Chains A and B, each alone.
Chain A
Amino acid sequence: MNSKWGHKLTGLAILLSLTLLMFFFSILFGIAQISWESISKAIYSFDGSREQLIIRTVRFPRAMIAVFVGSSMAVAGCMMQALTRNALAGPELFGINYGAALTSVIASFILGTTSLQLFAGSSIIGAAVAGSLVFLLSSTGRQPLTSMKLVLAGSTLNLLFASLTQGILILHEQSLDTLRFWLAGSLTGRSMDLFFQIMPILLIGLICSLLMGRQLNIMNLEKEVAQGLGQQLRGTRIVCILIIVLLTGGAVALAGPIGFIGLAVPHIARLLIGNNYVWIVPYTAVLGALLLLIADIGARFVLPHQEVPVGIVTAFFGAPFLMVLAQRKGGMK
């Protein structure tokens, strides 16, 4: 192995340990006071005390959800950027987040079901439908959409789905709080059963995406070269789309539409290690987890004694990122 490999591995290791540290902080810090000792006690000598219960049943699962959702959103964004060769792609800009939210609302209000399987399933279907809409827009027709138009189409779809969601909630006379629940992502109060059902899906998606690095690289070769490999690439594309749908649908079912992780994180990863997708994907996965953990810790301290949905935090800090990105790449077509 050459030294470049070494550097990149070291970088990944540093990020991983940072993530671990944040994971630990996420368990340690919060409104309820937790002491250092009780964390180790909760692991090694669990005695059912409240503090340890908080650690085991609230903080730990929450941190786990943050890790999985953060990674999944980020990797999904990364795959989308590779697939569409568009630096501005991301689940939040492609209507997938709110598409998934809309189908979940339809499932729970129109069909009147509260079963978890159906909830998760509908969310994944919604992600698939919204995603394929955008991909259709991007690849069919005589003149496929430019990257910029694609982003506009996606965010317009987002708005449409959000409006439809609101309309359904009005006709079912839900209180206004309910809307906030559906449209702002949050990591609290999530059902553990749902987490255990969805985690395998996300895990499969993440592992598959880690194996896709080389194919993603080929896809991002010069257009002519890539086109020469057209037949081979079709298979890759389909697998990519499947992975994206699994990751985003699962993540939205679990935490709601948390924005801007999927857009911003792959860029940060690229800044750190360049353009090789073999490395970008794992970096993105770790960074996504890290950043969502940090945002989630932040969400606990914005207001005294009250939490805000983490989706607010990511949008507030992620949106300027899009501004910067547009500044640099805005002229690109």
Chain B
Amino acid sequence: MEAKRNKIRHLSWLYVIIAAMVMSLIVGCSNSDSVTKNVVAQSEKTNNNKKSSAIKGDTRTVKDAYGEVEVPTQASRIVVLDIGALDNLLEMGITPVGAPSILKIGDPYPAYLKGTKGIENIGSVNEPNLERIHALKPDLILGNKDTHDAIHVQLKQIAPTVFVETLGVTWKENLQLHAEAVNKQNQGTQLLRTYQDRIDKLKSGLAGKKAKQISLIRPREDKIQVYLKETFAGTVMNDAGIARPASQQGDGFSKDITEEQITDLDGDLILWFNREPDAFDKLSNRPLWSTLQAVQQHAVQPVDWEYWMSGLGIQAVNKIIDDLNRFLIH
């Protein structure tokens, strides 16, 4: 009897709790319903606003990694989510309102990029701060699908987004899409043409000389990374017809090797970059390292990781060509 009453009392407990939970759920659901409605309403509103102020120009349609996007004819507040877009936009004379640091929030932008003053830091490339992006009230966001797929939904509610497929190897397509997104197609094409001219010049400069194989490596704490053809710098060297050592012919991004494969690193010129301070010393102290031809001929050059390794845009490309000219022609 007692037990039964007890049970009933406990049961009433259950109802209170369930009721509370169901209530909170209902609140949650109704909110989220209103969320979508709100967002739709908002975006309609902003569209209307734009249409009403159509004197400035209508929207244009751009095709990106997700399909067609309506972007403002002349976007004025652009947020970029990677260094490639930052690089390309700056080259086309546009200063974005927000851009991320490569690694750590608040880190300075790469030194080779000029005119970054006044750009708001929005976090790291991997985890940009969505609230900061929103606070900047952008009218266009440039990102890439490979890194920012998970937050695409939220970003496109903040502003129209133009996403490139991936970074690095596709830098030419990316430049064109970026140019299209900011309505500077001609300038984009022009930049690529200039690039082609510079590559041709480099090629003809190399034509008279003995072909040099360039080895591209990143010494790290626990391994050595070999940069292959499908890297940013790899594409530029490929375009210039620069030969790579036999072990670096493969497709793909990079290959990890251990210290017994140091001999595979050899070439007529070894270019290296990294972010770890002591890793190169560790490699160069290895007895095998000094058997390399390039080492014996003092043809080992450190290059700036900011554009050789983390570069993704046209300015980085041009810096790489500068370096190649310096190393190979002069």
Q: Please give the residue numbers on chain A whose beta carbons come within 8 Å of chain B beta carbons, in ascending order.
A: 30-32, 48, 50, 53-54, 56-59, 114, 173, 175, 177-178, 181, 186, 188-189, 191, 305-307
Contacts and interface: CB of A to CB of B under 8 A. Distances in A.
A188 B259 contact: yes
Given A31-B258, A31-B260, 14 more contacts: A32-B260, A48-B291, A50-B288, A50-B291, A53-B288, A53-B291, A57-B286, A58-B258, A59-B260, A189-B258, A189-B282, A306-B255, A306-B256, A307-B258
Contacts of B124: 173
Contacts of B258: 31, 58, 188-189, 307
Nearest to A178: B221
Contacts of B291: 48, 50, 53
A277 B257 CA distance: 42
Interface string B288-300: 1001000000000
A32 B221 contact: no
Contacts of A178: 221
A54 B221 CA distance: 19
B129 to A, nearest CB: 15
Interface of B: 103-104, 124, 220-223, 255-261, 263, 275, 277-278, 282, 286-288, 291
Contacts of B260: 30-32, 54, 58-59
A243 B47 CA distance: 74
A113 to B, nearest CB: 11
B263 A189 contact: no
B228 to A, nearest CB: 12
Contacts of A186: 222
Contact of A189 (B103, B104, B221, B278): B221
A53 B287 contact: yes
Contacts, number: 56
A32 B247 CA distance: 12
A170 to B, nearest CB: 10
Nearest to B292: A50
Contacts of B103: 173, 175
A169 to B, nearest CB: 12
B261 A189 contact: no
A12 B104 CA distance: 54
5 contacts: A50-B288, A173-B124, A186-B222, A188-B223, A305-B255
A53 B263 CA distance: 10
B33 to A, nearest CB: 37
Nearest to B126: A176
Given A31-B260, A57-B287, A58-B288, A181 B104 contact: no
